[in-house]
Structure 1
Amino acid sequence: MKIHNPFRVALLATLGVGVGLLVIGSVQSLSTILLYVGTALFLSLGLDPLVSFLERRGLPRWAAVLVTILGVLGVFTGIVFMVVPIIVGQIAQLVGQIEQLLQPGAWNEIVLNVQTWVSQTLPWLKIDDVWASVQQWLSTLDVGSISTIVGNSLLTGAGAVAAGLGGAFIVLILTIYFTASTPSLKSAVYQLVPASKRARFIELAEKITDSVGYYVMGQVSLGVINGVLSAIFLSIIGAPFPAVLAVVAFFFSLIPLVGTLTGSTIIVLTCLLPGLGSPSLALIALIYYLIYMQIEAYVISPRIMNRAVSVPGSVVVIAALAGGALLNLLGALIAIPVAASVLIIYREVIIPRQNER
């Protein structure tokens, strides 16, 4: 190919690269705002099935949205007023327990207690040499450095909590707006599609949004079930900080695929805290959560998610990993609905077209 004006071609190529870099930089600068908008859209789609249910019962759109938002805010406000005072008190106990763990000789006491329990429960294990090595390693830990690291982590965590509260307020406002204006937003998007293909596009879009909405409601329902059952179970067995651990179980259950496993691991490890927990208590919690995860995977989740699009397990793993790598926690949350949407397009559009050829 003969280039008649190399300077013009080079200039256009340079401008094109510059515009691309500008767009990428703008997206990176607006990543936090885009995260808020994406989260709000995700939540509004989750509330839309509830709003539609109220509309089918005779309420106008504005009244259905108002009732839904007030109901959600009322539930969370009640939870905050009931649970937060308990959580604050238990967090103070947890911090005090961590401070005790950082005292000189505390780790040796923990190792001795665990060693005694294992020796009595599993006498056939020869663990004396292993525990001796562990005690020697723990005795070399610099308590002052650990205390500094923990203090800095607590300050960083407090700043992250403050920033998270501000972001949550912004997401709440955007969610209310998107929930109230969902029909108009959909109508505006539908008008961009040619009239000859608009009916089919609307049909697919409604299936996708319904699927996302049912998925969000289902995931929240799973979190509520895990949180409530965890609070009851941990209170019965006398686990430390049952309210805090129940909240941990709820929020981690919102994360697909690995959330329940991660939250259960944190709870079991917390039950090992010396002075408040014990290896026997941790073993009971471990058995409970192993049983619960099986029941959730094979009984509870299929019944709750029956109205959402079913996604194969391999696709769930790939989607969750890819979403988490791209958008961290938000990516992991929306990865499965996005995968479900792709599957709808695959089943409803691509496969029929291939069968027609």
Structure 2
Amino acid sequence: MSNDADTADRPRAPRWLRPTIIAVLFAIAFYQMSGWLFHNLKGFLGLIFLAWLFSVTIEPIVDLLERRGLRRGAGTGLVMVSLFVLTVGFFALFGTILAEQVAQLLTTLPDALSRVTDWANRTFDTNFKTGDDLLHLTPDTIRDLAQRFTPGVLGVVSTLVGALFQLLTILLFVFYMSAEGPKMRRAISSWFPARQQKVIAEVWETSVEKAGGYVVSRLILAAASTIATGIFLLIIGVPYWLPLAIWTGVVSQFIPTLGTYLAIALPAIIAAASQPLDGVWVVVFGTLYQQVENYVLHPRITARTVSIHPAVAFGSVIVGATLFGAVGALVSVPVVAILQALVESYGTRYALIEQPDSTAPPPDPDSTAPPGPEDPKAR
């Protein structure tokens, strides 16, 4: 009897304790599993998002072809084949020149850096170290570096096979995401109630418009910058004008904030290695072209895209590169553009109240005092 009494008097655990412990354990397990999946699948997820970004970029053209009576799958294939033909045509026209100039540029770049550094030390009385001083290049070190960083035949073949597999994966997902875009949208919407399907459709359209518009505008601006820079470098006689022009166009448009300075630095160094005054002219041209792009080209081309603050864009590139590497850095700005558009569409802003000016003089107490009784002596 005493044992039963002790058991009855012992305090029982609350009913919520066991479900809470189980829920916490499941949450920890889910967190660990999610982190493991993200760590192992982040490369694949980056490829999927890159394919989606490519698909929404060509979706306006596919929609136009579909309205003209062409089936969506055939229209998607036609657009992709056209882009492939244009790429092959570009490399057929400039591939040999580009390959030769890139090889020569990589060979002469260390010497160019050394010559520019020597000129800066003589002109401005500085003490910067040259590339040879930093690397201490000797025949032995060159041989060691070549043996360490030059991959074998098997490594080259495996790298090429991996790159080809990733390219085919992206193209396959691009085709299905573009050709089956409306079906995919309806399939996703069917899992939600009717009142939420309109929101899903609006979010999808906003994402397609902002992401596709951003990529298209950047490609147009990159092409314009490449053509203008190439013509200028060719006119003043800067060597390796084609790879330098492509470098300038791509880097200046797809690396926010710092891209403009990184893009023009390399052509300026190469030009200054041959003729220091040419390096100055390249910097002047880059500065003037940037002003023309900021005030003339950029507002007109990106009129329908989201304008992102440079600090936000730069921060998004850092976060994207940290999470997904080079692919994350490439797609981070369109993601931020989509999020900003959604916040502006569904967020609520309120009018600011007028704050009193602290620098204004205090009001005159006599002028603000209430009128008192009339003085009888004043009569």
The interval holding the TM-score normalised by the smaller chain is 0.7 to 0.9
**Who wins on radius of gyration, i.e. which is larger?**
2
* Post-superposition offset of 1:13: 4.3
* Post-superposition offset of 1:95: 4.1
Q: Which residue of 1 aligns with 2:271?
A: 271
**Which segments of 5 or more consecutive residues in structure 2 lack a partner in the other structure?**
1-11, 352-379
What secondary structure is seen at the aligned counterpart in 2 of 1:271? helix
Higher-helix-fraction structure: 1
Give, in whole Å, the separation in 1 of the partners of 2:195 and 2:179.
29
Q: Which residue of 1 aligns with 2:37?
A: 26
Pick from 131, 135, 141 the counterpart of residue 145 of structure 1: 141
What secondary structure is seen at the aligned counterpart in 2 of 1:30? helix
The C-alpha deviation readout for 1:312-335, integer Å capped at 9, x for no partner, is 444434433433333333333333
Answer yes or no: is the 8 Å Cα contact 2:46–2:328 preserved in 1: no
What secondary structure is seen at the aligned counterpart in 1 of 2:191? coil
* Post-superposition offset of 1:54: 2.8
Inter-CA distance 2–295: structure 2 relative to 1 (3 Å threshold)? farther
Give, in whole Å, the separation in 2 of the partners of 1:149 and 1:77.
34
Inter-CA distance 159–114: structure 2 relative to 1 (3 Å threshold)? farther
Q: Which residue of 2 aligns with 1:97?
A: 108
Pick from 260, 276, 280 the counterpart of residue 277 of structure 2: 280
Answer yes or no: is the 8 Å Cα contact 1:49–1:214 preserved in 2: no
Inter-CA distance 253–95: structure 2 relative to 1 (3 Å threshold)? closer
* Post-superposition offset of 1:19: 3.8
How do 1:217-296 and structure 2 match up within 5 A?
A: 217-257=216-256, 258-273=258-273, 277-296=274-293
- TM-score, L = length of structure 1: 0.79
Give, in whole Å, the separation in 2 of the partners of 1:261 and 1:56.
43
**Which segments of 5 or more consecutive residues in structure 1 lack a partner in the other structure?**
119-124
* Post-superposition offset of 1:73: 0.9
How do 1:110-189 and structure 2 match up within 5 A?
A: 118=123, 127=125, 130=126, 134=129, 138=133, 141-143=136-138, 144-145=140-141, 148-149=144-145, 152-153=148-149, 155=151, 162=160, 163-189=162-188
Q: Which residue of 2 aligns with 1:51?
A: 62
Counterpart residue identity of residue 246, structure 1: A
Q: Which residue of 1 aligns with 2:324?
A: 327
Q: Which residue of 1 aligns with 2:50?
A: 39
Q: Which residue of 2 aligns with 1:88?
A: 99
Give, in whole Å, the separation in 2 of the partners of 1:110 and 1:83.
29
Inter-CA distance 195–134: structure 2 relative to 1 (3 Å threshold)? closer
Counterpart residue identity of residue 261, structure 1: Y
Answer yes or no: is the 8 Å Cα contact 1:223–1:250 preserved in 2: yes
User: Does 297-306 or 342-351 show the bigger shift?
Assistant: 342-351
What is the identity percentage for the equivalent residue pairs of Structure 1 and Structure 2?
21
Inter-CA distance 262–20: structure 2 relative to 1 (3 Å threshold)? same
Inter-CA distance 252–134: structure 2 relative to 1 (3 Å threshold)? closer
Answer yes or no: is the 8 Å Cα contact 2:109–2:270 preserved in 1: no
Q: How many residues align?
A: 335
Q: Which residue of 1 aligns with 2:214?
A: 215
Give, in whole Å, the separation in 1 of the partners of 2:118 and 2:341.
57
